[in-house]
Amino acid sequence: MTSSRSLLTLALLASLSLPACAATPKERVIPIGQVQGEGARSPLDGQTVTIEGVVTGAFIDGLGGFFVQDSGDGNARTSDALFVALEEGAPPPTIEVGDRLRVRGIVGERKAGNDDTLTALHAPVIQPRGKGSVAPTVLTAQPTDWEALEGMHVRIDAPLTLSGTHTLERFGELITSFAGRLWQPSELATPGSAEAKRLATDNARRTLLLDDGSAKRDPATVWYVKDGQPLRTGTVLTGVQGIVDQRAGGWRLQLTAAPTIAAPQRPAAPQVAGNVRVAAFNLENLFNGDGKGGGFPTERGAKTPEQLKAQIARLVATIRGLDPDIAALMELENDGYGADSSLAQLVAALNAGGGTWRFVDAKQGPGPDTIRVGLIYRSDKVKPSGKPATLQEGPFGERSRSPLAQAFVRGNGKPFVVVANHLKSKGCSEATGADTDQKDGAGCWNALRLDSSKRLDAWLKTDPTRTRSDRVVMLGDFNAYAMEDPVRWLRDDAGWIDAFKQAGVEQPYSYVYNGLTGRLDHALLSPSLVKQLRGAAEWHINADEQDAQGYADGDASVPFRSSDHDPLLLGFDL
């Protein structure tokens, strides 16, 4: 006859979905620190051990296991917590944070990306031991070694900077960093150099991912971010608390509480001195279907007429906010110059309610690419001088977009030349030979971009606008960071002057990619134009904004996230 106590024990085991051969008090329980050891891998790898601790994070559905932590082994070089991996297909146990458990399992290292591993217990046999609590370890600065904290519950009493949001919608992650934002190494140092490698290593050291406690893709919501909360790179997070975890190639916290995310500080429109203002802006694929309300979805850009309307509204808000006299534009649909073209319709939208905007008509192209560059100007401020000029030899047209040059005059002044430029992107499709990724941080097509820069410089020295003006500003999307060959050669070898350095702008940037900040958009001046420069500014309305908040979302009357690049603005006295 079965006793009432036996029935109670069986009922408890059944409720936890635990095997009947649960650990017994007679088994030797060892500190978790002995399982973790002082190295990256457990000294007990492959052995069966019994540990006891309190559940600090129950991620059974999201990660297929839970974390337990004990009171420690007195060794600061060993972690006092461990991930318990449940067997796939087995009924999940009913476990909550605060449960004290005794667990017997096989020590194993779970691949966490690259050569990194996460120490875990596998094939666990679990016995409940009541309730308990573990206070989080308080970190007032970045630890020198996350390995000694692997699996532990921590609270970070130091500010973290939001450095990237591109994996939030797909994986529920935010990229954060200690000691400020993360910079592209090739923005600050020559690709492949010792300094660039040091910067890359330092970026990896300072990075900490914040995760939602689940490995599932495309979550419907991310629980620790408030619905509708705007996120911007550079924003400070405080009160960050979670479990130190290592998986998918990096250290992360599986959050146990929602952090405090500071309200984003969105910048006002930039102001620069001077009587002529010149802007550059990558429009992120302005395509308008057939130009008559049909032809959607387009090859790039807006998928519906409604999205196009919102896109144009944000672009107009951006250009009006910049208030330039001339603007160089990138990623325009290459669909001619008629009334149905994307360029003509953008200008018409700018002039709605009264305006003097015109566009430079190059008659065709420039170039055969799906996208092109363009120039627009305010006819009451400046006048074109001579005819537009384009370059379509070598890589231009087939790879790099053909540049467009136009001379302008203000009043009775001397002409100055504005060149809209957009070099080949870093994507590796069809790249061969020297154009493949050289693993130095410059990405693919670096050799072609360098060739494009050299040809562009040689072309401009031939006076392509036939105005005999040596006052030239070359600006746009070079798809190269400041210390990469295409831009560095123009500065150091060809003598072009970086307008932002000349204006004393500290650490400019226009683009955020994979959590790294840098500058793909540049403004370079011929030496004879330098003395007319009065100011330079970027308007950080796009690069820092959350990736998902594109022109199709939210209030279309504001400029924020009108593109993925920040626009730039120069002021001259001409």
Q: Is the pLDDT assigned to residue 11 strictly greater than 50?
A: no
CA distance 340 to 187: 39
pLDDT of res. 549: 67
Q: CA–CA separation, 513 vs 477, rounded Å?
A: 15
Beta-carbon neighbour count of residue 126 at 10 Å?
25
Q: What is the Cα–Cα distance from 186 to 184, expressed in whole angstroms?
A: 5
Task: Report whether pLDDT(12) > 70.
Answer: no
Question: DSSP letters along 325-343, please?
Answer: SEEEEEEEE---SSTTSHH
pLDDT averaged over every residue in the chain: 93
3-class secondary-structure state, position 159 = coil
Task: Quote the CA–CA distance of 549 and 526 in Å, as a whole number.
Answer: 37
In this prediction, what percent of the chain has a pLDDT beyond 90?
89
Element holding 121 (H helix, E strand)? strand 117-131
Nearest to 68 by CA among 116, 124, 20: 124
Residue 555 confidence (pLDDT)? 83
506-515: average pLDDT: 97
C-alpha span between 278 and 419 (Å, rounded): 11
Given this model, what pLDDT does residue 553 score?
74
The pLDDT, as a whole number, for residue 228 is: 80
Summarised one tens digit per residue, pLDDT across range 41-87 is 999 999 999 999 999 999 999 999 999 999 999 999 999 999 999 99
* Rounded Cα gap, residues 421 and 467, in angstroms: 19
Closest by CA position to 313, among listed 279, 286, 274: 286
Q: CA-CA distance, 433 to 518, in Å (whole number)? A: 26
Structure tokens at 468: 């005999």
Rounded Cα distance between 454 and 493, Å, is 10
- Taking only the tens place, the pLDDT of each residue in 149-192 is 999 999 999 999 999 999 999 999 999 999 999 999 999 999 99
CB 539 within 8 A of CB 501: no
Cβ 570 vs Cβ 536: under 8 Å:
yes
Element (H, E) at 485: helix 485-492
Residue 340, Ramachandran bin (φ over 0: left; ψ between -120 and 50: alpha; else beta): alpha
Query: 101-136, pLDDT tens digit by residue?
Result: 999 999 999 998 778 899 999 999 999 999 999 999
Sign of torsion over alpha carbons 424, 429, 433, 436? positive
pLDDT of residue 26: 61
Residue 132 is predicted with a pLDDT of 97
Which amino acid is it at 430? E
Mean pLDDT of 452-470: 97
Quickly list DSSP for 125-146.
Answer: EEEEEEE---PPEEESS--S-G
Which string of b and e fits 141-163 if b means at least 16 CB within 10 Å? eeeeebbbbbbbbbbbeeebbbb
> Could you give the maximum distance between any two Cα atoms of the chain, in Å?
111
What is the set of domains in the chain, with CATH numbers? 4-134 (2.40.50.140), 152-261 (no CATH), 276-572 (3.60.10.10)
- Reported as a single tens digit per residue, the pLDDT across 372-419 is 999 999 999 999 999 999 999 999 988 999 999 999 999 999 999 999
Q: With bands split at pLDDT 50, 70 and 90, how would you rate the model's confidence at 547?
A: confident
Q: How far is 334 from 337, CA to CA, in rounded Å?
A: 9
For residue 422, give the DSSP letter.
Answer: E
Mean per-residue pLDDT, 426-454: 97
CB 491 within 8 A of CB 501: no
pLDDT in tens, 15-44: 333 443 444 446 799 999 999 999 999 999
Q: What is the pTM of this model?
A: 0.91
**In the chain, helix, strand, coil percent, each to 5?**
20, 30, 50
User: What is the C-alpha separation between 60 and 86, in angstroms, rounded?
Assistant: 8
Distance in angstroms (rounded) separating the CA atoms of residues 509 and 182: 12
* Distance (Å) of CA 18 to CA 90, 102, 103, 542: 10, 12, 11, 52
Beta bridge partners of 407: 385, 417
Structure tokens given for 536: 């330079």
CB count, 10 Å around CB of 522? 26
Give the residue from 161, 163, 151, 156 showing the smallest Cα distance to 141. Answer: 156
Q: What percent of the chain has pLDDT over 70?
A: 95
pLDDT at site 19: 41
Q: What is the mean pLDDT of residues 528-554?
A: 90
